[in-house]
Structure 1
C-alpha cells in the first residue's frame, strides 16, 4: 500500500511542471467604492482567492483605505499611505537591482503566458464636456498602450475588449477590468531558478 502511494506521489510530482495555473484578476470601480479580486486555480480542487471588498481614498491623510470583513464578521480597515508606497517601492527596487538579467528572465517567462480573457470598460465624466473629452482621449491612449505591451510580451489568445464611454451630464467614474492568464508551473519554476542563479550576493 505504501509502495503504491509512493508511486502515485512521484507521478504527481513528475506531472506538476506540466500543469496549468489559471490566474484571474478582477477590479471593479464605481465612484468611491472599489473591489479587487485575485483568483488562482490549479486543477479543479486547488484554489486560492484574495478579495479586497472596499478601497477608498483616505480623508484624514493622503492614502488608500482598504476594508475587509473577517471571519468574525467585523470590518478591519487598513490605510496605505504615500510613504508606505515609497518604502515598499524602494525595497522592491533594491531586490530587483540584485537580480542580473531580470528583464531577460521575465521576458522569456512572459512568452509562455497566455491571455485568455481581457476586458476593460470605463465610463468617465467630470461635469465639463471639453475636460471630459480630454480625459477620454488620455484614457484611450493608456488602454492602447497597455494592450500593446501585453500583446508584445504575452501570447494573447483572444481579442481584447476595451471601451471608454464619455458622460457629459455630470461627474462619473466607473471601471470594470477582468484579465485571465494561463501558464505552466514548470515555466514559473524555471524562471524562479534563474532568478536564484542570477542573484547577486552581497560582498
Structure 2
C-alpha cells in the first residue's frame, strides 16, 4: 500500500497535465476581421485571440489616404502575451515599386517552397467560418447605371463567397446585402467575419511549413533574406 502511494500521485499528475495539454490543443484560435470603406475613408482591423485569451494580437489600419502616386497608410499593432503588452504605431507609403517588389517576393517564395499552395489549401480546410457579413451601398446618380452597378457588385460578392466556401468550412449562414442609392453617386461597403482554427491544427500547420522551408536551399535564412529585401 505504501509503495503504491507515490506512484498514484505521479499517475494523477500525469493525467492532469495530459488533460491540460489536450485542452490547449483543442482550444480555438479566434480571428476577427473588419473592413469598411465610406466614400474616400477606409479602415480595417484584424484581431487574433488564442489560448483562451492569454495571447492576443491586434492589427488596425485607421487611415488610408491616396497621395498622388502612392498610398499612405497609418498602422497600429498591439499584442499581449503572458501579461506583457506591446503597442506600435507607424506610417507607410505604398507606391507602384513596393507593389511590384511584393509580387516578386511572393513569386520567389512560391518557386522555392515545394507545393506551398497545397499547404495553404490544406490549412484552410481546418478553418471554420462562424460569421460572414458583407453590406454594400452603391449609386451613380443615374437609375439605369445604378441598377447595373448594383447587379455587378452583387455578382462580385456572391463570387467571393462561392470561392471562400470551397476553401473553408461555413458554420453560419452568410449575410450579404447590396443597396442601390438612386439619388446621388455614393459607395460604401463593410465586411466583418469571424473564423477559428484549433490551436493544435495551427501548430501542426506551422511545423509543416517549417519542414518545407528547411528543405529548400538556404532554409529559414533564405526566407528571411527574401522578406527583408527592400
Counterparts of 1:104 and 1:76, CA distance in 2: 34
1:113-164 per-position Cα deviation (integer Å, ceiling 9, x unaligned): 1001100000011223333223222211111111111211211001110111
Counterparts of 1:173 and 1:122, CA distance in 2: 7
> Structure 1-normalised TM-score?
0.83
Q: Report whether the alignment pairs 1:64 with 2:71.
A: yes
Counterparts of 1:128 and 1:201, CA distance in 2: 56
1:4 match: none
Count of aligned residue pairs for this structure pair: 194
Unaligned runs of 5+ in 2: 1-13, 78-88, 219-230
1:36 match: 44
The answer on whether the counterparts of 2:75 and 2:90 sit within 8 Å (CA) in structure 1 is yes
More helix by share: 2
Counterparts of 1:68 and 1:191, CA distance in 2: 28
- Between 1 and 2, higher relative CO (CA 8 Å, sep ≥ 6) is seen in 1
> Structure 2-normalised TM-score?
0.74
Unaligned runs of 5+ in 1: 1-6
1:84-138 per-position Cα deviation (integer Å, ceiling 9, x unaligned): 1111121122112222222322222111110011000000112233332232222
Distance 1:50 1:76, change over 3 A: closer
1:137 match: 151
Aligned-residue offset at 1:9: 8.2
Structure 1 or 2, whichever has the larger Rg, is 2
Distance 1:45 1:69, change over 3 A: closer
Counterparts of 1:46 and 1:201, CA distance in 2: 31
Runs of 4+ residues over 6 Å off in structure 1: 7-11
- DSSP-derived class of the 1:191 partner: helix
Q: Report whether the alignment pairs 1:119 with 2:133.
A: yes
The answer on whether the counterparts of 2:127 and 2:168 sit within 8 Å (CA) in structure 1 is yes
Q: 1:171 aligns with which of 170, 174, 185?
A: 185
Q: 1:86 aligns with which of 100, 106, 109?
A: 100
Q: Report whether the alignment pairs 1:54 with 2:38.
A: no
